[in-house]
Amino acid sequence: MNGGADLGGMMGFGPVIEEPDEPNFHAQWEERVLGITVALGACGQWNIDQSRFARESLPPAIYLSSSYYEIWYRGIVKLLKQNHMISDKELATAQASLPRVDECNALLPENVEATLMAGSPANRKSDQPAAFDVGQQVRTINIHPETHTRLPRYARDKTGIISKVHGVHVLPDTSAVGQGEQATWLYKVSFDAQTLWGDTRVNEQVNNKATNKDKVHLDLWQPYLKADTTL
């Protein structure tokens, strides 16, 4: 979707300033939000794509004015409400009132490390051949869905080159909205910076070490792509 999270190419936000020796967390509550997110993810009531969609679909004014872990917290609250696992009254009073979700799998402390190391692999098997090969020129489709997609706004209807075939992976667009995995081929597509940002934007960045020789690499699913024979 074209929400607050899709920032590529937008102006007025200033440079990304690196914080020297940045800690993993800037406050204790951020640690708790991460822990809650991991524990609830293991509960099995939603998948990673639904979790991402919950965050990116926050109202843009809220998304852009929230810190990183505030966005995670708001996304978790949204998912809990959607799945009838928490209510506004419970949030206000810190007292449970809704019935317990019995099918929720508890993540015990001794299993956290193994669970995180195992992850949730999204690669799948398929008997269908890949539609594109390394070195092939492709063009991305031009879509503006109201739901989740991994095709960023700045890379739509752009020409690139297949630089790697990753294999078959769960399609986030359908996974995020409960329409099944619909696993399909995933590719790394390389774009010239000028193709995405235009001659003026790229040339303006020469003093900041960005030139028209720069490349942008995106992992894109097969439904996002079509063959492009223009040279």
CATH number at residue 184: 2.30.30.50
Q: How many domains does the structure of the chain reveal?
A: 2
Domain boundary residue, one of 118, 148, 169: 118
- 79-83, 100-104, 108-112, 210-214: range with lowest mean pLDDT: 210-214
Is 112 inside a domain boundary?
yes
User: Has residue 54 been placed in a domain?
Assistant: yes
Could you tell me if 147 and 205 lie in one domain?
Answer: yes
**Same domain? 151 vs 171:** yes
In a 3-state reduction of DSSP, which class is residue 189?
strand
**87 with 175, same domain?**
no
Give 230 or 71, the one with higher predicted confidence.
71
For residue 137, the tally of other CB atoms under 10 A from its CB is 15
pLDDT bin (cut points 50, 70, 90) of residue 198 is confident
Spacing of C-alpha 4 from chain mean position: 12
Distance (Å, whole) CA 48 – CA 122: 10
Q: Would you say residue 10 lies in a domain?
A: no
pLDDT band at 226 (very low <50, low <70, confident <90, very high): very high
In which domain, by residue range, is 184 found?
123-227
Residues 83 and 105 placed together within one structural domain of the fold: yes
Residue pLDDT, tens place only, 33-48: 999 999 999 888 999 9
pLDDT digits (tens, 9 = 90+) for 120-154: 899 999 999 999 999 999 999 999 999 999 999 99
202 pLDDT tier (thresholds 50, 70, 90) = low
Residue 68, domain CATH: 1.10.472.20
